[in-house]
Structure 1
């Protein structure tokens, strides 16, 4: 339970940091790349065993971790495109509703239980995520020509969470969580550095120290969000479908409440209804465990 709570806390911190980025006009891409470098070092520092570079290449999970690192950057850029073409509410719903994919994977692949309480709890949680994510009076509007982008964000985000669960269960050893996470972030950092290098050659890159500071502030909670999520998945306190649902819904709910307290955000009635449903959903999933 502690690992799950810390994962939720870390993920919520990420949303707060992104809010601060907007206030101080921090270049998100530049900060993201720095964040991946910082997350890499966190993984190296927390690895309990001595790290041998040649041995890292021999891990069975190594090629999958590289693929995840590339996917991290791709999904991030897709989120940016989706936000520009369809609005923040659309990208928020697409990313957060992607929790459906790891939930279904856990139920179908691992044959996890689905009692009445858990089923109702998951449904309430998904409705809650949708309601809390919409920050406009009108419903979501997506042009047909731009529909592919939220679909890709939904799919990519879901594949990332599902892959993390699968690799954790099938390939990653007990003491390898840190180096596994560091490898993912290393690949993401290398791809990001490549993008920034192209920008520099085109004369579009401008170094600003505040972007580095923002990346450091983002990188630490970003690493621990994955690190503690992996720990929570191994704790056995809930099945993976329950872990992902509680984690995702709690982050949405808490970050929304922090938006009110820290950034004076105003919520619509539908957002408050979503928060109430989220609480009931989590309670039912918890009760469904026993």
Structure 2
């Protein structure tokens, strides 16, 4: 349970840092790429074994980590496009609703429990995600032309969580969690650095120290959010559908409350109902263990 709590706190800190990005006009793309480099370095430092490239490339999880790294940065860019085309609420709902994918995967593939308390909690959790994500004056506005972007965010986010569970179960040993996480972020960083190189060649890149510092601040909690999530998935008494439900809903709950406390955000009645439902869903799922 401690790893799950630490993952929630690390992920919630990421949302708080993103809020600070907009406040201080940080170039999000530059900061994200620096963040991936820092997260990669964090994993290398946390890995207690000698780092041998030839050994790492022979691991069963290596190519999966490579693909996940590409998906990581691709989903981030799709989230940015979704926010621009459909609004912040649509991006938030698409991202958090994706928890349905690893939940269904866990129940079907790993035959995880489907008790009344748990299933009720999961359904309430999905409702809580929707209601809490609806900000003042916003609604879910999706046209046929722009439907593809939130759909890809939904699928991509779900694939990430599902893949983490799959590799944790079948390929990643206990000692390899840091280097597995580092490899994912490393490939995301490579894609990002090529993006920066392209922008440099086309003359559209202006690197700022502010963006680098912001990326460093984001990179450490980003690494630990994945590291602790993988550790939580290894817990013998909690199946993946339980972990993903509590993790996603708690992150949304904590980040929403942080928005109220630190950024003076105003919530609608729907938001408050969503918060209450979020707490109820966590209690129901937790008691179903």
User: TM-score, length-normalised on structure 2?
Assistant: 0.99
Task: Classify the secondary structure of the residue corresponding to 2:214.
Answer: helix
* Deviations 1:11-61, CA, capped at 9 Å, x for gaps: 000000000000000000000000000000110011121211111111111
Q: Which runs of 4+ in 1 moved over 2 A?
A: 136-139
Residue ranges of structure 2 left out of the alignment (5+ in a row): none
After superposing the two structures, state which structure 1 stretch, 233-242 or 62-71, moved more.
Answer: 233-242
- Structure 1 residue 20 and structure 2 residue 28: aligned? no
Retained in 2: the 8 A contact 1:103–1:240? yes
Retained in 2: the 8 A contact 1:35–1:216? yes
Which residue pairs with 2:44 in the alignment?
Answer: 44
Task: Classify the secondary structure of the residue corresponding to 2:142.
Answer: coil
After superposing the two structures, state which structure 1 stretch, 129-138 or 220-229, moved more.
Answer: 129-138
Give the Cα–Cα distance (whole angstroms) in 2 for the partners of residues 207 and 139 of structure 1: 35
Give the Cα–Cα distance (whole angstroms) in 1 for the partners of residues 111 and 74 of structure 2: 31
Task: Classify the secondary structure of the residue corresponding to 1:144.
Answer: coil
Which residue pairs with 1:121 in the alignment?
Answer: 121
- Structure 1 residue 74 and structure 2 residue 74: aligned? yes
- CA displacement at 1:136 relative to structure 2: 3.0
Retained in 2: the 8 A contact 1:30–1:211? yes
- CA displacement at 1:137 relative to structure 2: 3.9
Give the Cα–Cα distance (whole angstroms) in 2 for the partners of residues 35 and 193 of structure 1: 11
Which residue pairs with 2:265 in the alignment?
Answer: 265
Give the Cα–Cα distance (whole angstroms) in 2 for the partners of residues 49 and 234 of structure 1: 20
Q: How many corresponding residue pairs?
A: 289
Give the Cα–Cα distance (whole angstroms) in 1 for the partners of residues 266 and 7 of structure 2: 26
Residue ranges of structure 1 left out of the alignment (5+ in a row): none
Give the Cα–Cα distance (whole angstroms) in 2 for the partners of residues 46 and 147 of structure 1: 40
- CA displacement at 1:73 relative to structure 2: 1.1
- CA displacement at 1:272 relative to structure 2: 0.4
Retained in 2: the 8 A contact 1:137–1:268? no
Which residue pairs with 1:282 in the alignment?
Answer: 282
Which residue pairs with 2:105 in the alignment?
Answer: 105
* Deviations 1:68-110, CA, capped at 9 Å, x for gaps: 0001111111111111111111101101110100010110000
* Deviations 1:101-137, CA, capped at 9 Å, x for gaps: 0010110000001100001011111100110011034
Task: Classify the secondary structure of the residue corresponding to 1:32.
Answer: helix
Give the Cα–Cα distance (whole angstroms) in 2 for the partners of residues 96 and 287 of structure 1: 22
- Structure 1 residue 155 and structure 2 residue 155: aligned? yes
Give the Cα–Cα distance (whole angstroms) in 2 for the partners of residues 261 and 76 of structure 1: 26
Task: Classify the secondary structure of the residue corresponding to 2:145.
Answer: helix
After superposing the two structures, state which structure 1 stretch, 47-56 or 69-78, moved more.
Answer: 47-56
